[in-house]
């Protein structure tokens, strides 16, 4: 089976403001339990920002309003079930969280947590994600 040389994923950067301080939500990846943004592959019937919002619901149980334009993009790797790693471009869409659900599709498979952007950058392991979180946090200072 042949794979594309590079894949694209659309990620949500979920945030809320509590007492004047911005917080971002990260979820754990299924396999390695790294802290990541909710994200998924392009879908024919959905626009990129709609994919990001749908993934935020499925992976983190959150709903809100998502920006139609990507805030940024960064290079990453996507690890397939067979262990193969593919280069991946992640386009990030900011999502203002309006509702946090108690039950959601992937609740049993992932952990979700609110962080300050700085804390999120410290637990994240991907350089592009760390930069994205710090850039996002800087907009709120």
Is position 34 within any domain? Answer: yes
CATH code, domain with 96:
3.90.79.10
Is position 126 within any domain? Answer: yes
- Identify the active-site residue in 58, 106, 109, 119: 58
| 126 classed as catalytic | no
Q: 106 pLDDT band (50/70/90 cuts)?
A: very high
The rounded percent of the chain whose pLDDT value lies above 70 is 96
Number of domains in the chain: 1
Q: 2 pLDDT band (50/70/90 cuts)?
A: low
Range of the structural domain that residue 52 is part of: 7-138
Q: How far is CA 56 from CA 8, 28, 83, 85, in A?
A: 17, 12, 25, 23
| 82, two tokens | 């067979």
Determine the average pLDDT of the residues in 33-41.
Answer: 96
Is position 1 within any domain? Answer: no
Is position 19 within any domain? Answer: yes
Asked whether 52 and 66 are in contact (CB, 8 A), the reply is yes
Quote the DSSP letter at residue 55: H
């Amino acid at each position: 089976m042949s794979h594309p040389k590079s894949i694209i994923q659309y990620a949500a950067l979920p945030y809320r403001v509590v007492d004047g301080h911005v917080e971002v939500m990260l979820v754990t990846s299924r396999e390695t339990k790294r802290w990541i943004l909710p994200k998924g592959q392009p879908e024919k019937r959905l626009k990129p920002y709609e994919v990001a919002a749908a993934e935020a619901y499925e992976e983190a149980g959150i709903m809100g309003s998502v920006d139609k334009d990507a805030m940024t993009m960064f290079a990453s790797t996507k690890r397939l079930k067979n262990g193969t790693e593919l280069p991946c471009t992640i386009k990030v869409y900011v999502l203002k969280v309006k509702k946090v659900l108690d039950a959601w599709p992937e609740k049993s498979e992932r952990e979700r947590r609110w962080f300050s952007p700085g804390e999120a950058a410290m637990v994240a392991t991907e350089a592009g994600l760390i930069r994205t979180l710090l850039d996002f946090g800087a907009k709120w200072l």
